[in-house]
Structure 1
Amino acid sequence: MDEKPPRTKANGLPEDTRPFVAPCRAIQPSAPLRWLRKGWQDFCAAPRVSLIYGFIMLVISYLITAAAWAFGNMGLYLSLISGFVFLGPILALNLYGISIQLQQGKQPSLSESFRQVRICIGDALTFTVIMVVVFLVWARAANLIYIFYPVNEWRVEDVLLFFGVGSSVGALFCAIVFTASAFSLPMIMDRETDMVTGVITSANAVLRNKLALFVWASLIGICLLIGLLTAYVGLMILLPVLGYATWHAYRESIDASEWDARFELPPEDSE
């Protein structure tokens, strides 16, 4: 019986010759500002679908806060709001679809973005399960923090200690999630690859460009803080902008040409 020929990718080489990780380009510390600018341009090009997405995220934020308020548990609030941040990369998949449509010169629509997401839903769900596990570990840690550092009488020193310890522990979890998700889901959306390759590629890019990605993570944190300080209203704009910016960050930073593309897209402008 004849052997089946080795599966090949777009450039005709055997699939098993692909590198273990997609190489990353050198990222300048100023690049995150350019990504935000591109994210804002996509928001302005698709304001209706962006605001619909932003409104959904706004409602989710209010529901989280209402649940924590009803149970009177600051630990619950801290874990839920942080969990929302952990799952943010998953929720941004539709935004990547909007950016893809804009780069293809199409009129963006949420229905089309849902169709695009279905293409890579298997690996995206695997990533989601991992993030849920991380979230559950963090939720447990947040409740332990509340037990050992209770805020009963809302004294200033108690509140500061609670948020200080909680923020420090939360920052560690967020760093892990950021390293794994900075470029992984956009790559899974863009290329016919798997979750493991995407996560390793993301971690490699973050570790090789620590300063630039620290700037990017800081900008994300600042945007989320602005959203909190505006009673979440600012998130209606900031979350879509961050989602679009993440897509352009991936396109500028990762050379995934060894994997077959899911969509026909023009080269990314890095100027």
Structure 2
Amino acid sequence: MQATGNRERYTRQFTFSSMLECGYCGHKLSRRTRHQTTTTKKPVWQCMNATKNGIDSCPNCKAVDEVIIENAFLEAFRLLADNFDDVLQSVLNTIEDILKDDIELKRVKQLEKDISSIESKKSRLTDLLIDGKIEQEDYDEKKLSFQRKLHQLTEEKAYLEENIGQQKNISKRMSQLRQILENEDALDEFDRIVFESIVEKVIVGGYDEEGNPTPYKLTFVLKCDQTLKVDNAKADYRANQKGTKVS
């Protein structure tokens, strides 16, 4: 159970680090750990420009709690649920198109044939050495060449199989999500697969209508060229914790 939790935290960290972008200077955000009390810690995300070069490099940015970002996504997702056909349907169609295109599956089958062929050649090479039809030096050189090629093909095959599996997993999860929305149920906890499937990136920080910096403004840029905005994610999170958020 602990290993699963650690793996999920690592995956979430990798996901956010590639998707969170500073709204002031455009740099990526990095994850840091802060102490809530003497015994508890909390993960926060802050502009890498500010953390590496000093706050003067990006003075308007703030460290944003990871849980605030997750809560903001849920808030944005509730808006998405009201606009299901325009957004989520586009995502589902994209995933379905990928799964229908069997280029990767054909490549895996070809790789299996290539691997089998090289393994046969490697076996015959051993027979040639035993029969004295090839010198040890030539044998070692060709064997090394076969091993390198096998490693390359095996790595490519593993990558493609993992990619195919992830696409099927996303497709299944998104189909479940379709049913959730059609039943008018909301997503009640952060779902990494849904997040990665829908969101292209998250812009952290921005400005209000009067041009004042709003460091807790989050803009979710969706993969269907639309955006969902949460003007003050920190205030919304606190309100939700107190049960005062107006739906």
Per the normalisation by structure 2, the TM-score is 0.28
Which structure has the highest helix share of the two?
1
* Structure of greater relative contact order (alpha carbons < 8 Å, 6+ residues apart): 1
Which protein shows a greater Rg?
Answer: 2
Which structure has the highest strand share of the two?
2
